[in-house]
Amino acid sequence: MVTLMDPSGNTRVVVERTGATIASIQTGGTELLWRSPWAGEEWDGRYPAQDSNAEFHARYPGGWHTLVPNAGDAFDVDGVAHPFHGEACWRPWQIVDADEASCTLRIVLRTSPLTVERRVEARADGVVVTQEVTCYGADDVSFTWVEHPTFGPALVAPGTTVTVGGRQLDLEIPGPEATHSAMTVVDAGTARITAPGGGLTAELTFDTGVFPLVQVWQEHRAQRGFPWWGVVDALAVEPSAAAYDARSEGDPLGPLTLAPGERLSATLQLRVETR
């Protein structure tokens, strides 16, 4: 893994090679992302593609994942097994470059002819993620792209508010005596998560041309048995090219298409305000 620190010393970011996952974002010493009790356990990088749904949930450490070339349940296309939430989040990426405040990672996917390069930069007010997807194959390729940052206790509690595009969402975030899970899908726009009392706000901006939807996934201790044992209490705000498990006959992997040699890039910025 790579640990980044912005020049001011306010923001510390940890990026793991597996999935190029952002494992931790701390601003002023406060952790913003949700992390499971088993986060940091070592895995060998292999996955059972036909049962990757269960395997992903058993391993799920929290953090911020990128989902390419597919998202949602595992499925086959033309004899190719695509694992739950896409190959990119399962495999170790190459570290291309790194300095004190930023790093760049790259992976060449095998389930789709795509090369993905991801740059993560720690800034005094948060994090900037820039990702580029390139088609290396001889034919057009369709895919989806979802960014999956999952936020934890510093931001998620009864009284937390979430707005997308200036619209406050009607979300239920129960106290410790109750459980709840939900998925809400809305048109994309700047997303703001404000902790109870308004003392901490995280604002996520991104390219709505690439990500026309925002999916808000909630899990508040509702999964009592295996694999989460009632300990996951988190909220994810997911800029998405398509809704969960959305597929069509023409583009089963997703609505984005690249011609041979063509590239698609997008930048996401997470700004943190403390009052």
- Condensed to tens digits (0 to 9), the pLDDT of residues 201-248 reads 999 999 999 999 999 999 999 999 999 999 999 999 999 999 887 776
186-203 in b/e form (b: 16+ CB < 10 A) is eebbbbbbbbeeeebbbb
Side chain identity at residue 79, one-letter code: G
Distances (CA, A) of 186 to 24, 38, 50, 116, 213: 26, 31, 30, 27, 6
**pTM of the predicted model, to two decimals?**
0.95
Read off the pLDDT of residues 25-44 as tens digits, 9 standing for 90 and up: 999 999 999 999 999 887 76
pLDDT, residue 46, reads: 64
pLDDT, residue 53, reads: 87
d(CA 7, CA 122): 9
d(CA 239, CA 206): 8
Nearest-5° angle of CA 209, CA 210, CA 213?
Answer: 85
d(CA 196, CA 192): 13
Q: Which residues of the chain have pLDDT under 50?
A: none
pLDDT, residue 47, reads: 60
pLDDT, residue 58, reads: 87
Handedness of CA 214, 219, 225, 228 (dihedral sign): positive
Q: What's 196's DSSP letter?
A: G
